[in-house]
Amino acid sequence: MRKPFIAGNWKMNTDSHSGPALVKALAAGLANIDRGKVDVAVIPPFVYLAQVVNAARASGISVGSQDIYFEQKGAFTGEISSNMIKDVGCNYCLCGHSERRHVIGEGDELINKKVHAAINGGLLPILCVGELLEERQAGKTEEVVERHIRKGMAGLNAEKAEAVTLAYEPVWAIGTGKTATPQQAQEVHAMIRGLIAELYDKSFADDMRIQYGGSVKPDNAAELMQKEDIDGLLVGGASLKADDFLAIIKASIPA
């Protein structure tokens, strides 16, 4: 069975006090939870990563970055490499979050280079995929998600692809309060698993974790997680409140 994986993407929020305090509150809230039953990660802004790693020490909470650059070092002003993220004690990074795709303008080829760089640098990438509202309305959800995955994972053999977690985040559900219904999410997740089976094989696809993201809250987490192909959650706004994020984590643990 796939172990649930709940990650909190803090986006451009928190500061040097509230970030470490948030992770300490999460650590305290998770103290009595069987950590064999759920993986938890927080994804703060770059500048607070080291402090949050420090605050998370011995809690079993992993830390990840919201992005990386695909080169490892050199004249790339303003960029951060996967080696640097690893060096400060992180083990995950997001690649291709919809805000990077649609606000910053990242394309599939760049995202694919980042996925490779993450794995080569010893990180576990969370590759985010998902359609815009107009793409859903035009019946193009499958086509868009398939393209994000085929291009995002291009050139990864099975050994490398094992490092990847996928996150399906329909863009119309992000920060809008409009969650995909569990059934809508399940349909896309099942399609994704089928595609992964085609690209690798069925047993590989059966082991791959696919998170859902988009307006996840304490009151919809359990229902989403009950779906067969939803193996975790990528939480934005609700991950900034310790109580809400803890409630989401607890709701995700199978009875």
Show which residues are catalytic.
97, 169
Stretch that binds ligand 13P, among 19-27, 132-140, 144-152, 207-215 (CB under 6 A): 207-215
# binding residues, ligand 13P (CB under 6 A): 14
Site residues (CB under 6 A) for ligand 13P, limited to 154-183: 169, 174-175
- Our finding on whether 9 is near ligand 13P (CB under 6 A) is yes
User: DSSP labels for 185-211?
Assistant: HHHHHHHHHHHHHHHS-HHHHHH--EE
Q: How far is the CB of 189 from ligand 13P (least distance, A)?
A: 16
Residue 214 burial by CB count (10 A; 0-12/13-18/19+): exposed, middle or buried?
Answer: buried
Query: Torsions phi, psi of 76, nearest 5?
Result: -135, 70
- Our finding on whether 235 is near ligand 13P (CB under 6 A) is yes
Site residues (CB under 6 A) for ligand 13P, limited to 72-111: 97
DSSP 236: S
Q: How far is the CB of 226 from ligand 13P (least distance, A)?
A: 19
Evaluate whether 210 touches 166 at the Cβ level (below 8 Å). Answer: yes
Residue nearest to ligand 13P (CB): 236
Evaluate whether 163 touches 169 at the Cβ level (below 8 Å). Answer: no
Positions touching ligand 13P (CB under 6 A) are 9, 97, 169, 174-175, 213-216, 234-238
